[in-house]
Each structure stands twice: as C-alpha cells, then as structure tokens.
Structure 1
Amino acid sequence: MLHEPLHFRFARSVNIQWHSENLAPREPTSNDGLSWHLRHAIRCNCYRLPGEVARELERRQIFAYISDPD
C-alpha cells in the first residue's frame, strides 16, 4: 500500500509549551524515540530531525519531509 509522505515545515522556533508537556524520553526504545521525534516535528520543529533518526525512519519506510520556511 502506498502512503503519501508527511510534510513538516521547519520553523526554527521553539514551542515552549509543547516541550514542557512532552519531555524527551530519558532512555527511549527505538520506537519511543522515533515516536517522540515525529510528534516533535509536527508540533515544534525547533531543529531538524537528527540524521540517525531520519535514517531509521527511511529504513522502516516511514517518510517525512521537512521544509525550510524560506
């Protein structure tokens, strides 16, 4: 089954409320870490997905495209 890619806008600003309510897991499993980073990309976008996370998403065929606001 084909899925549309997820598109997120890279905002370069911190959503302080989101961060205070969604602390990154201290010792995340692979799934926990990926889940947090995807939720972060949707709600905050204060930085790009780390390369390791992006590679793991690609390996799992979960595609997310982050675009610069420029």
Structure 2
Amino acid sequence: MSVTTPSQGRTPAEAAREAMGELADAAIAAGVRFPSLRLDPKPVGEYGVLAHLIDLGRINLATSKRLTEVLEAARR
C-alpha cells in the first residue's frame, strides 16, 4: 500500500480522499462497510501541517461486531 503525498503532485485534500477510498475498499473486501465514511469538513493543523481527518461516522451494531472480528483476526 502506498500513501499519496502532496509531493507526488496531489494536494493534501486529494491525498486524503484517495486514502479514504483505499480504506473503504479494504474495509469492504474484509466484509465491513462504513455507511457514513467521509472526510471531516474542517482540516486541522498538526505540527505545522494541515491534516485532513477521515471520519468513520456512526456505525450500527452489526458493523461494529464485524469490525471487531476483522481486527481480532488481524492480531492472530
């Protein structure tokens, strides 16, 4: 997996959108769907760099249980 950075010709917002898409694709492949996945509308400054946050949103109980299963399996 490669993370796109602004130095690769993309803005921080474009890199964040790409990362969000990669997260969504990986989650779906693992059987988890985040119905409210989105970029936080207000980027924050962190260590002098503008940071875009990915909001996983609110999830229902079934999604929570599936995400827990996937994360536990990844630890094994």
TM above 0.5, yes or no, is no
TM-score by length of 1: 0.33
Greater RCO (CA < 8 Å, at least 6 residues apart)? 1
TM-score by length of 2: 0.31
Question: Which structure dedicates a bigger proportion of its chain to helix?
Answer: 2
